Amino acid sequence: MSKPSYLLFDLDGTLVDSVADLTLSLNLLREELHLAPLLVTQVKPMIGDGASLLVKRALGEKIFAPHHLTRFMEIYAEHLLDNTLCFSGIENLLQRHDPQKMAVVTNKPYQLSVNLLDGLGILGYFSLVIGGDSLTEKKPHPLPVRKALEVLQAPPKEAVMIGDHHTDIYAAHAAGTAACFCAYGVGHNDGQATVYHADQPGDLIKLFPGQNRE
């Protein structure tokens, strides 16, 4: 079986480790609401389904109101790059592939995603970024993956969705692409089988070696 030519990446838990800054921002919001702080281990399983669900989970359905999401976005924008870094080996992986054949497909809001990628110096590796608010649906719906394939002019059978959450896998399967589960991230695969599996970030360059572009 030939390796995929087009690589679609999730963001949080796949390309970058952002748990510390998400936890910090949620706790600053909780502090404003006179709530006790959450541990990183409590926040991790809340991540992966978009900002709205993240804040709802962090505050609880009884407390959450739409303005809390707005306030969280303001806080997180200020702390987006306090501690967040690319996982080891990710930039080396990206350097070996054609930017015209790579996209980020994330449930994180678009502008925060672009700001984060730009702040880490890796935005230029991608020809497209699709955020959780870019379209009418987000993962696990296949629409974001299908849109990325359309823009990249990529046949589904020549693409792979790389992510750490079951939302990535379900979206990939429904869109007709292969999936790579990143077990080092914050999500889980919901028991779904994938063609590719990465236990560590360094496994990705073994799975998708690309070529030396220097």
pLDDT digits (tens, 9 = 90+) for 153-179: 999 999 999 999 999 999 999 999 999
Instruction: Return the H-helix or E-strand segment holding 163.
Output: strand 159-163
Of the residues 10, 21, 49, 164, only one is catalytic, namely 10
Confidence tier at 1 by pLDDT (50, 70, 90): low
For the chain, the structural domain boundaries read 6-17+85-207, 19-78
Tens-place pLDDT, residues 3-16: 899 999 999 999 99
Using an 8 Å Cβ cutoff, are 73 and 38 in contact? Answer: no
- In terms of CATH architecture, what is 6-17+85-207? 3-Layer(aba) Sandwich (3.40)
Residues 6+ apart with CB under 8 A from 79: 21, 24, 25, 28
Classify domain 19-78 at the CATH topology level. Answer: DNA polymerase; domain 1 (1.10.150)
Phi then psi for residue 78, to 5 deg, are: -80, -20
**pLDDT at site 50:** 85
d(CA 27, CA 151): 38
Active site residue 10: yes
pTM of structure: 0.94
Q: Tens digits of per-residue pLDDT, 50-103? A: 899 999 999 999 999 999 999 999 999 999 999 999 999 999 999 999 999 999
